[in-house]
Amino acid sequence: MKIRSSLALLTAAALLTAGCGDQGQSYTESTPSATGVNPSELPDHQAPPDRFVVRVTIKDGIVTPTNEQLQAAVGQPIVFRVDSDTPDELHVHSNPEHSFKIEAKPGQMFQFTVDVPGKVDVELHQLNKTVATITVR
């Protein structure tokens, strides 16, 4: 009886270990998973919300995009990916507000969520530019 129990325990451990390895699955930026579980395998009520990504470039005083009109959902992670040649501050006029220090370097990422529906302006303070207005529903 002890041999069967030990064998069953070893088999379960082997299956568990095999299930933890990388099975060649890739996770896109729009479906993040902090748990290592592919969100497409979760029931709808458990799936994390897709991230809304906005790419921003600041070069020689020119901001791209400027005055972009966007839409997002309440509680949806919003990510601003910023490449900048000058320091600035990204300010999100939401409730609560968010501020992010931008450095003069590429590949910066700032993430926030908005929990109150409405229009949210995202501005650069030093350059005095509105990057986007996000309608959150």
The answer to whether residue 59 is domain-embedded is: yes
The residue to which tokens 């729009």 are assigned? 30
pLDDT of 96 strictly over 50: yes
The answer to whether residue 86 is domain-embedded is: yes
The answer to whether residue 131 is domain-embedded is: yes
C-beta of residue 54 within 8 angstroms of C-beta of residue 90:
no
pLDDT of 14 strictly over 60: no
How many domains does the chain divide into?
1
Return the DSSP state at 107.
-
Say which CATH number the domain at 109 has: 2.60.40.420
The answer to whether residue 113 is domain-embedded is: yes
Average pLDDT over the chain, rounded to an integer: 76
Q: How many angstroms separate the CA atoms of 3 and 38, rounded? A: 36
pLDDT of 30 strictly over 50: no
Q: What is the pTM of this model?
A: 0.64
Q: What mean pLDDT do residues 20-47 have? A: 40
What is the span of the domain harbouring residue 79?
Answer: 49-136
Please state, as a whole number, how many other Cβ atoms lie within 10 Å of the Cβ of residue 84. 21
Helices (H), the chain: 2-20
The answer to whether residue 43 is domain-embedded is: no
Largest CA distance in the chain: 76
The answer to whether residue 4 is domain-embedded is: no
Which of 29-38, 65-74, 103-112, 122-131 shows the lowest per-residue confidence on average (mean pLDDT)? 29-38
